[in-house]
Chain A
Amino acid sequence: MNLTLRIWRQSGPQDKGRMVKYQVDDVSPDMSFLEMLDVLNERLILAGEEPVAFDHDCREGICGMCGLMINGDAHGPQRGTTACQLHMRQFSDGDTIDIEPWRARAFPVIKDLVVNRNAFDKIIAAGGYVTAPTGSAPEAHSVPVAKADADSAFESAACIGCGACVAACPNGSGMLFTAAKVTQLSLLPQGQPERYTRVIGMVDAHDEAGFGGCTNAGECTVVCPKGIPLTTIGRLNRDYLAATTRHADTPGT
């Protein structure tokens, strides 16, 4: 099939950037979206032009590197799918596809479609860890964890930090990411010692990074390739309320 692409081109952080139109012919429906961009880039290189820069790594939907706004949809039209796992059969011959980077003040564009997601690392550094030496996997029955808690923690731990939640949020908020990381640890015994300092530290880091505030609009969970539920934000809120009322002066308990 033949496609018209309109891609955001920006030579560097200081460049103003613009949408540039490209024609890509003979695209196989079995190609992934990134393979289609590879085809375009090979052609651009042969023509002596600058190829389109985009982030990618594992190309099997688990690393969280790729992330494109495709026709206004974070990771494209297919739900529960990263851009690398999106196949061209989702599009039709003759389509025009708009491709933009994640738009957020906390995610400045480095080049073309590549953004700097260092802000997520800062949120993790502010509390997304446990200090207890956990060593290798413990004996499963030594510390009882309720099945429902284990399942919810695992569901949150599936977050790959791709940033689609921020990209789709009408407020440019990174609360789903922050909530997933908080929930994952606050439901497990290993996460209890820092439970209440963690939530305050991570929310503060989130706000300092320049993300917007959450209004529970629910866009994030729709586009999340890992289906992180909106309920994690409720868990974060509950921990935050507990931390700021009952546990205000007692870090670590």
Chain B
Amino acid sequence: MAVTGILLVLFLIAHMLGNLKIFSGASSFDHYAHWLRELGVPLLPSAGFLWIQRVGLLAAVLLHIWAATVLALRARAARPVRYAHRKKVRGSYAARTMRWGGVIILLFVVYHILDLTTGTLNPVGDPSRPYANVVADFAPERWYVTAFYTLAIVALGFHLRHGVFSALRSLGQQTPRGEQRARAVALVFAVALCAGYLVVPFAVLTGLVS
């Protein structure tokens, strides 16, 4: 869980920084997207780096889901008779929603790839013009797309709030002061990542980027 989670988090950071290039203009953003495809050429074929990254991420996602499924099945088996009276989990809302939050994020990733990678569900859907795709995607009349992105990113934020802390703990974080630090880092990181991702659709929605 922790190792695959950290790999995915590293991708999330890179992806967010890439997204923020949209504020430096259409040509810069499109150039960045083309650069990602040309990365490693001539050592790699065109888009070779992206495919290596995609295979790596897919493996990490599958292992992450497999580990989560094993944990969920073990949890179910460990308590065959349920409590008649059960209090809600007090640890944190984030810890309580890890499993269903993860499902929301997975559904979002499927939609997101069909939307902005393959362009199938995008009104422009031209892979050579990513800036135009993004602007068309979050246009004010398609507010429901922005709403769904917001829901998914907030779910991701909660997932990271518990996930980052839990990963650090799984890898051996063991002092009380370190626990406070780990929780603080997880919270700040989750909020920062949420903000970094949400600023793009809302900039398009408000006409800041057009």
Contacts and interface: CB of A to CB of B under 8 A. Distances in A.
A100 B83 contact: yes
Interface string A61-104: 00000000101110000000000000000000000001010011
A56 interface: no
B175 A231 contact: yes
Interface stretch (A22-30, A46-54, A207-215): A207-215
A211 B78 contact: yes
B90 A104 contact: no
Contacts of A213: 70-71, 74-75
A122 interface: no
B106 to A, nearest CB: 18
B208 interface: no
Nearest to A239: B172
A231 B75 contact: no
Nearest to B87: A72
A17, A211, A234, A237 interface centre (most CB from chain B within 10 Å): A234
Contacts of A8: 84
Contacts of B14: none
Interface residues of A, number: 38
A104 B79 CA distance: 5
A228 to B, nearest CB: 12
B55 interface: no
Contact of A231 (B74, B85, B162, B176): B176
A212 B75 contact: yes
A217 B175 CA distance: 17
Nearest to A96: B85
A218 B75 contact: no
A159 to B, nearest CB: 17
Given A234-B169, A237-B172, A241-B172, A212 B79 contact: yes
Given A105-B77, A218-B95, A234 B179 contact: yes
Interface string B75-96: 1011111111111011110011
A103 B83 contact: yes
B133 interface: no
A234 B173 contact: yes
Interface of B: 70-71, 74-75, 77-87, 89-92, 95-96, 98, 162, 165-166, 169-176, 178-179
Interface of A: 6, 8, 17, 19, 69, 71-73, 98, 100, 103-106, 109, 170-173, 210-213, 215-219, 222, 229-231, 233-235, 237-238, 241
5 contacts: A72-B83, A212-B78, A213-B71, A213-B75, A216-B162
